A and B are shown apart, each in its own frame.
Chain A
Amino acid sequence: MSTTSPTPSSAAPASADSVGATGSGRKGRGPGSRRPDRRPLTGAARENRAGLAFVTPTFLVVLVVVVLPILWTVLLAFQRARLVDIQSMGLFGNWSLHNFTGILTSPGFWTSLWTTLLYTVGSTAGSVVLGLVAALALRRPFRGRGLLRGSMLLPYVAPVVAAAFVWQIALSPQFGIVNEWGGKLLGWDDPVAFLSTRSYEVSLLGLHFDVPLALLTVIAFETWRYFPFAFLFLLARLQAVPDVLEEAATVDGATPTQRFRHVLLPQLMPVIALLCVLRFIMTFNKFDDIYLLTGGGSGTDVVAVRVYDFLTARFDVGAAAAQALVLAVVLMALLGVYFKFFAKKVEEEA
């Protein structure tokens, strides 16, 4: 890699240069070429060079805006760094595990990690299931399908800030439409503060139990916002399933549920698995939705919001970095488990 990839400062001209190798390689066969003692490059070698030249600019950008900052996070996580000290601090020095011991022994972190997990699993399952239901319902043409298909993408396309405020106002106990109608039509006795109730007592069939209402509400929001994403992918895949498969099953007397279970689902499984992984990764690190809806209060304190609080309220860069790092490691571990034990199974079933 180091022999062929140009230095950062000369990335653009260098890439143009070695790309030109395609042309000069042909000329190189004649006498008096630049390097007479060398055999002309083979096609594969030329392609190799061109590939490296093309990938280098992108690679460098990713290196600078993603890889280096992450490495720095790792360094910061092992230092006692507060924002005011950063200016004077060197890149290395004052190593300590202080941040990690502080975090791992604080009870707040573990409940927060558990909340993150519940939130992620709930939202992932919710958005994929709702997306699947929507894709099945919109599979066959009907009047107004195109319009509905377009409008279904609204929650996904609309800015999160606007969407969060609409929910906030609609769910408000004072002037929200949900509570107003709930009182009128469903006979709710008191307005429900959806976004600020940590646990809400529900009685069902004489049993009383508490539900984490605010957490369920943010899960519902996340489901609502991201089911269009799953819907898009699943609909595209559904429409690629050949009709003959289902027709054959129908002729054989399969009921709709059987056709779904034994014909469609196996076809959809790889996409569903991919969607679950994607949504899981995205939601696990999600910050803005919860921050905007509840500010992390009432039992919705996910780790991403905690990191933000440490960074901006306490200016404790080290602790913030350590928490972000622990979050990333947990995510990697979960994904590792998935790919080791489950990914193959999904592929085999498909």
Chain B
Amino acid sequence: MSGVRTSLPSRAQFEERLFGVLRRVVIAFLALITLLPFCYMLLLSVKPIDALLLNPGQLWVSAEDFTLSTYEEVLKPTSEGGQGFVHMLANSALVSLGAVVLTLLAAIPGAYAVSRLNFFGNRQVSVLFLAVYLFPATLLAVPLFVMFAKMGLQGSLVGLAIVYIAQTVPVSIYMMKNYFVTIPYSIEEAAALDGCTRLQTVRKVVLPLAAPSLMATGLYVFMIAWNEFLFALLFLAAQPEKWTVSLGLQQLANGVEVSKTVLMAGSVVLTIPVVGLFFAAERLLTEGLTSGADKS
């Protein structure tokens, strides 16, 4: 083969073959590192602790070892000797949904204005919205901690949802802005000619058209809020009945003797809602997040 076309440098052939093999190796490696930890989590959650200690390297669970008592312990309310994760799931859902609603309400007008309207200070405001990212969560944590302590909101789930706005508004504005600019301006002009005020145009024309972007943004906010840990720890640690799942799980790990398999069952309970939601809307989400990236 190689003798037929001597003009083709053998280096190219060699590289083609090398990268062909490397590509498979990389793909296998990626599948391994992304899937294995989660399979391991699932596996340990249905094992009794003795089986784990006896044979830590085992990658399967035998039929006689299989148990769901770990889940039972995690989900049962604290009054019945469990860990009360059902209640925490409700708390997490409440905070996350609250954060979604509040963030969208706060971010939509700004995203629309920045993407559509030419007003005095537009650029400065856009920069400010993105600059929020520069400020570390730790910088916000100190005053918010003190402020909430002063206002007596410490330990309130609503307060936590409000704090999450700070974490989610910049990325929300960015995502929605990228979508708003793709909506043809002529549609808005048509609405204005038909006698819509600006507010009506936004409500009845722009927002319905931007529904996919709003969904994606909302989902992303939900994920951030559901997974958040630092602020939950700062605000809620003293009140077990207000714990979110993330916080509850961490406190469980810190607390009195809890077996590792129960901890893994808790991790599965924490992970499943957000991962399930993500896969249900994967396309929407990845496109919403990266829609600006290929335009750079």
Contacts and interface: CB of A to CB of B under 8 A. Distances in A.
A154 B38 contact: yes
B139 A328 contact: yes
Interface stretch (B69-77, B162-170, B208-216): B162-170
Contacts, number: 308
A257 B15 CA distance: 8
Interface in A188-246: 224, 228, 232-233, 236-237, 239-240
A52 B119 CA distance: 7
B144 to A, nearest CB: 5
A237 B286 contact: no
Contacts of A138: 27, 30
B63 interface: no
The B interface is mostly helix, strand or loop, or mixed, namely helix
Contacts of A159: 226-227, 229, 245-246, 270-271, 274
A86 B151 CA distance: 12
A24 to B, nearest CB: 9
A76 B57 contact: no
A104 interface: no
A236 B41 contact: no
Given A70-B135, A165-B264, A169-B264, A292 B275 contact: no
A148 B125 contact: no
A41 interface: no
B31 A151 contact: yes
Nearest to A274: B296
B47 to A, nearest CB: 11
Given A54-B109, A162-B41, 19 more contacts: A51-B120, A55-B113, A62-B106, A62-B129, A73-B142, A76-B146, A134-B30, A152-B34, A162-B271, A169-B264, A175-B53, A224-B33, A236-B293, A281-B134, A285-B138, A311-B234, A321-B143, A324-B138, A328-B135
Interface of B: 8-9, 11-12, 15-16, 19, 23, 26-27, 30-31, 33-35, 37-38, 40-41, 44, 52-53, 56-57, 59, 106-114, 116-122, 125, 128-129, 132-147, 149-150, 162-163, 165-166, 169, 173, 192, 195, 197-199, 202, 223, 226-227, 229-230, 234, 245-246, 249-250, 253, 260, 263-264, 266-268, 270-271, 274-275, 278-279, 282, 286, 289-290, 293-294, 296
